[in-house]
Structure 1
């Protein structure tokens, strides 16, 4: 179905990366997206910039130009941790749309009212416009309709506060609190942001009319706020409440639909950058969709590939967040911290290598533009398997080493750099 009509709901990082990848594969793609309803900024790391570059989102990448000194108050310690780039999300979202239009993707700005299955997918917008697609990509983030059956972490809510302060050097900070934690940032033009993240079930929050005063009172009690902002930070500001509960959809792929980004898995904001997570879950999507449409006989393989990688990404980010929470030992017994320092499980982020546990198995892999099956090396730290390392297929190497062959014999036709990479990888797996 090379002429399939593909509709992507959502033009955030995940939706945009998926749409661009599909366009490169020759598909006609229509993206539907509503505008962000409130101003926000987001701190991003170098790996986010690398992900945007890899996805071809050049205009969006250009928005990550504001570096900010970052301070951390955690477990009773005051730390200065390098810098992070601050993104104005409204400008960033506009740049994503510009990237899509330049690539020949049709972008429709509007709110989706309903999606029906009628010989494909029928999408009706608020203005009455109706779109039809053979394939649907759900990329509306946390606003996407809930999937049937989901894994949920501790129920969490974030209160974002915005106000205008005096211009000054861009800066950001994060601090732990008795019942949660707060992230804050100031742009050079004086726009200020403070977000507190709390347990949705146990936080004693006032009614909507009193939220601004409640948040202002909490800011007045923070030494970090007093150090970062001017006196305007002590007054009530605009407040937006939003869920930040970690969630994983149990079904992220079907024969003619796919979930990507936060619509598939949304992690706790402490676990890592949301944009990086969205990109990570979406970069594989175009090849998965291409397989579903052009090689339907491999549909089950493609769906398994997408689902297992979404699940592994989710667990990795969730465990990173768990370990950050566990570092706050001074508050370990408080309800907020106790619930999060042990979720989702006790498995380490990086499992200890064991050469005896390394196995060879057939698993789905990405081969050029399709999902196919190949023999991969499964390790403690890579449960989905590793197929290639810098262009070297690893399964024959592992089999040869176990048969007593030397690396020189196995890699004689490879470059010195490739040989060094494989040798280092074998040592990391405990092969001595």
Structure 2
């Protein structure tokens, strides 16, 4: 079924990465998306830029600003050595569309009014009245995607985004912890300014909607960091957009003819600063999953298990990263915002202690030649999904040999020096004596 018509709903980084990956596999792909309804800016790390490059989103990558200073004030401590690259989302979203067109992917600018699905396919109803049919559907509309049963939610969280314009100047950003939440702020070179406060829904005690801009302005007046980063305009009420930033994991992220990716599969707390990275992480594996579901339906269970397990593990990793960062703020540890988030999602460590005695070999799903297949992989407490190979060298035979009593020099004999060094380092990281 290599000629299947695939519809991707959403032209963000996840939807674009999936669509380009599927086009490379020879599928006919249509991306359906409306434009973002509000302007925004995001701070991203170098690994996000590497993810964009790996996904073939070269124009989106080029839209990122050069690294700029990032101030951090957390638990009473201040740091200014950090950097991040600021992404102007309107420019970034436009560049993603350019990447899609350059890859030969059809792009439809429309709002999806409803979707009718059954085993035979999907009927998409678009505004202002057009209909489209698809054999396979990729849900990539982020947090705007329709909710479904079977989802894990973190503490209910709300973010209030304010924006205004000042005179052009040097770009910069900052993050600041507050008694009832935290604020992220950024100034672009052209003078556009953004300030977002993230709060606990149950305990925020917010005023009526019409009073929110003034309430946010008062919060900015209380911040010395705001005064350092912005001018006097920052102390006045500004344009405001409210959005949910609750962490959500969908516990069924696929079906026989559909798949959720990016924030539509799992949406992480914005504190992690890895929203685009996690979107790309789940999207980059999706073409192989979809290719398997369409070409090898006998492997459907394997492909869906591969996708779900990686979505869940990625979600837990980011959730635990956020939990540990929240726990660093001790000044208001007894306040509802901090108390809830410093203990969620669980008490499991972000990284398990290395113990070679617990390392084992299992047969698990992997990506091989654009399809989901099975292989012997090495599983550890810190890598529950397993590691298949390092730079082309399969690890399962090496671990089996060592666990069977072979010496390390015997196992590594005949390998190139750079491979020997790499494998020694990897084994040491697993607790090998």
Shorter-chain TM-score bucket reads: over 0.9
Aligned to 1:5: 5
Residue 200 (structure 2) pairs with residue 204 (structure 1): no
How far did residue 277 of structure 1 move?
1.1
> Where does 1:383-402 land on structure 2 (aligned, <5 Å)?
383-402=384-403
Corresponding residue for residue 109 of structure 1: 109
Cα deviation digits, residues 263-286 of structure 1 (max 9, x gap)? 000000002321111101111000
Partner of 2:59: 59
Instruction: Report the 3-state secondary structure (helix = DSSP H, G, I; strand = E; otherwise coil) of the residue aligned with 1:333.
Output: coil
Counterparts of 2:403 and 2:324, CA distance in 1? 36
Cα distance in 2 for residues equivalent to 1:218 and 1:431: 52
What residue is the counterpart of 1:175 in the other structure? 176
The alpha carbon displacement at 1:81 in A equals 3.0
Instruction: Report which stretch shifted further, 8-17 or 202-211.
Output: 202-211
Matched, 1:356 2:357: yes
Identify the residue that residue 250 of structure 1 maps to in structure 2: 251
- Distance in structure 2 (CA, Å) of the matches to 1:401 and 1:66: 46
Aligned to 1:121: 122
Shift of 1:411: 3.4
Q: Please show how residues 149-188 of structure 1 align to structure 2 within 5 Å.
A: 149-188=150-189
Structure 1: which 4+ aligned runs deviate by more than 6 Å?
none
In 1: Cα distance, 2:257 partner to 2:412 partner: 42
Mapped partners of 1:399, 1:352: distance in 2: 21
| Deviation for aligned residue 1:409 | 3.2
TM-aligned CA deviation for residue 380 of structure 1: 1.0
Query: Equivalent residue for 1:281?
Result: 282
Q: Is the 8 A contact 2:182 2:197 kept in 1?
A: yes
Indicate the larger mover: 65-74 or 308-317: 65-74
Question: Does the alignment pair 1:307 with 2:308?
Answer: yes
Tell me the residue number matched to 2:195: 194
SS of aligned partner of 1:145: coil
What SS does the aligned partner of 1:283 have? helix
**2:268 is the alignment partner of 1:267:** yes
CA shift for structure 1 position 86: 0.5
Matched, 1:93 2:96: no
SS in 2 for 1:345: coil
Pick closer, same or farther for the CA change 1:133–1:413 going to 2, 3 Å: farther
Name the residue aligned to 1:82: 82
SS at match of 2:67: strand
Query: CA–CA distance in 2 between the matches of 1:83 and 1:18?
Result: 29
Tell me the SS of whatever aligns to 2:39: coil
Query: Per-residue CA shift, 1:104-138, capped at 9, x if unaligned?
Result: 00000110000001531011111111111000000
Between the aligned partners of 1:229 and 1:53, the Cα distance in structure 2 is: 33
In structure 2, list runs of 5 or more residues that go unmatched: none
Partner of 2:35: 35
How far is the alpha carbon of 1:390 from its aligned partner? 1.6
Q: Which residue of 1 aligns with 2:339?
A: 338
In the alignment, the residues of structure 1 paired with residue 237 and residue 259 of structure 2 have an alpha-carbon distance, to the nearest angstrom, of: 42
Q: 5+ unaligned residues in a row in structure 1: which ranges?
A: none
The answer to whether the 8 Å contact 1:180/1:198 transfers is: yes
Q: The residue matched to 1:307 in structure 2 has which SS?
A: helix
More displaced stretch, 210-219 vs 65-74: 65-74
Structure 1 contact 272–317 (Cα < 8 Å) conserved = no
Structure 1 counterpart of 2:239 = 238
TM-score normalised by length of structure 1? 0.99
Is the CA contact (8 Å cut-off) linking 2:143 and 2:267 kept in structure 1?
yes
Between the aligned partners of 1:417 and 1:391, the Cα distance in structure 2 is 13
3-state secondary structure, aligned to 1:72: strand
Distance 2:78 2:425 in 1: 37
Q: What CA RMSD, in Å, does the superposition of the two structures yield over aligned residues? A: 0.9
SS in 1 for 2:399: helix
Give how far 1:413 is off.
Answer: 4.1
Q: Which moved more, 1:198-207 or 1:307-316?
A: 198-207
Q: What do the CA deviations read for 1:32-89 (whole angstroms, capped 9, x no partner)?
A: 0110111110001100000000000000000012432110110001111321110100
Question: How far apart, in 2, do the equivalents of 1:363 and 1:413 lie?
Answer: 28
Equivalent-residue separation in structure 2 for 1:123 and 1:112 (angstroms): 7
Preserved CA contact (<8 Å) 1:66 1:87: no
Instruction: Tell me if structure 1 keeps the 8 A contact 2:2–2:295.
Output: yes
Contact residue 271 and residue 319 of structure 1 kept, 8 A: no
| 3-state secondary structure, aligned to 1:284 | helix
Partner in structure 1 of residue 70 of structure 2:
70
* Deviation at residue 406 of structure 1 after TM alignment: 3.0
Structure 1 residue 355: deviation in Å? 1.0
Q: Which residue of 1 aligns with 2:427?
A: 426
Q: What number of residue pairs does the alignment pair up? A: 432
Name whichever of 12-21 and 398-407 sits farther off. Answer: 398-407
